[in-house]
Amino acid sequence: MFFFMNATIISALLSGNSNRSLSAYPRWALKQNSIKLQVLSLRENKIHTLPAKPGIGQLTHLITLDVSHNHLEQLSEKIGQCQKLCTLSLQHNELRSLPNTIGDLKMLENIGLRYNHLESLPDSLARCTNLLELNIEGNNIWQLPEGLLTHLKKISCVTLSRNYFNVFPSGGPQQFTCIQSLNMEHNQITRIPFGIFSRASNLTKLNLKDNQISAFPPDIKKHLINLKVLILSNNQLKHIPVTIRELQKLQVLDLEENHLESLPPDIGYLGELQRLIVQSNRLISLPREIGRLHNLVYLAVGENDLQTIPNEIGDLHKLETLYLNNNLNLHDLPTELAMCCSLQMMSIENCPLTQIPVEVVTGGPSLVIQYLRLQSSFSHI
């Protein structure tokens, strides 16, 4: 699809399809009537290279370039001549490196690099000070250039997931001053350094899933006060500190697949919490204070060693989804569960529930809830 202005092409969308896909950069884009091109999309084709001479550097009016989902193995250093470029989409290619001239793109706001074969980023990227987001998910990177995030003062979202980081990026606490979302999922991080988040008061989402972390952020009390989403699933956590109570704005807490044996009573102070996921741990019981989580809509405590459920669970009037499955020592449910008036889905697979008639249990969760409600009404007669 083309759009024309005074016989000059300003926008060209040539995304591939199943019938025809470009295997090379279109030479017409280098002709005189195309050099004022502002938008060029070549995504989902079979392009292996962007020509250097004559080439991409001639498109000095280019604002958006999308060559994602191709087979690019390298990016011409002439890309640095496209100094009006704001969006550069390179994701899902076969790039192993980026040219140093990438740092000449002073107006660049978004660069898509995820799912390539990058082993490092050029130091010059620090000169792209208008960058709003950095996403390098699915590469082979183990460290960032020294102080990169510190130089990118407008950046708010950083995704470093599915790489080979075993420590946090160098740059100290100041690198996280403006960041609102940090995703380092699926790396090899073993610890969270003390003070690393001491300037991260703007951080609202922290995802450290699938690492080897054995302890909570040690300074969680002082600095992560605006955190809304905390994901630490698939790690090696053994306990939750009492300072968890300081995360007053937390809405999602995901601690699935750790080594937790208990939840602290202080979890009851998380009044804004909507989703609590502690599936696949070693929990024997739940604190009574869980009943204070009045905004909770999703609770997953399946695949633990729970023997009882506290009566206070009946105070969760907004609870819609409850996973209790695979607690092999859970023989009974409190009748107070019937007071969860918003409950729509409950999983009780592989829970013995010997204190509830077998014909009720075999009838499924909905029949169990009806039974509990009936028992609850009898208890008030």
Q: Which of 113, 131, 149 is the last residue of a domain?
A: 131
Would residue 192 count as lying in a domain? no
Q: For the stretch 150-167, what's the b/e string if a residue is b when 16 or more beta carbons lie within 10 angstroms of its beta carbon?
A: bbbeebbebbbbbbebee
- Residue 39 near residue 67 (C-beta atoms within 8 A): no
Q: What is the pLDDT of residue 291?
A: 97
Domain termination site, one of 76, 111, 131: 131
In a domain, 105, yes or no: yes
Distance CA 198, CA 138 (A): 28
Q: Identify the bridge partners of residue 88 per DSSP, sorted by sequence position.
A: 65, 111
Closest CA to 262 of 233, 241, 293, 285: 285
Cis peptide, bond prior to residue 54, ω within 30 of zero? yes
Whether residue 211 lies inside any domain: the answer is no
Indicate whether 169 belongs to any domain. Answer: no
Domain boundary among 79, 103, 131: 131
Report if residue 299 sits inside a domain: yes
Per-residue pLDDT in tens (0 to 9) along the chain, 381 residues: 433 333 445 665 656 644 345 555 555 455 544 568 899 898 999 888 887 666 788 889 999 999 999 999 999 999 999 999 999 999 999 999 999 999 999 999 999 999 999 999 999 999 999 999 999 999 999 999 999 999 999 999 999 999 999 999 999 999 999 999 999 999 999 999 989 999 999 999 999 999 999 998 777 767 898 999 999 999 999 999 999 999 999 999 999 999 999 999 999 999 999 999 999 999 999 999 999 999 999 999 999 999 999 999 999 999 999 999 999 999 999 999 989 989 999 999 999 988 888 888 788 778 888 888 887 665 554
The parent domain of residue 25 ranges over 1-131
8 A C-beta contact, residue 171 and residue 146 = yes
Number of domains composing the chain: 2
Q: Is position 324 within any domain? A: yes
DSSP 214-228: -S--TTHHHH-TT--
Instruction: Annotate 56-81 with three-state secondary structure.
Output: HHHCCCCCEEECCCCCCCCCCHHHHH
Residue 44 belongs to a domain: yes
Alpha helices in the chain, H assignment, sequence order: 148-151, 220-223, 358-361, 365-379
Q: What is residue 25's predicted lDDT score, i.e. its pLDDT? A: 52
User: What pLDDT is recorded for position 367?
Assistant: 87
220 part of a folded domain: no
Q: Are strands 252-254 and 133-135 parallel, antiparallel or unpaired?
A: unpaired
Q: Domain containing 275 — which CATH number?
A: 3.80.10.10
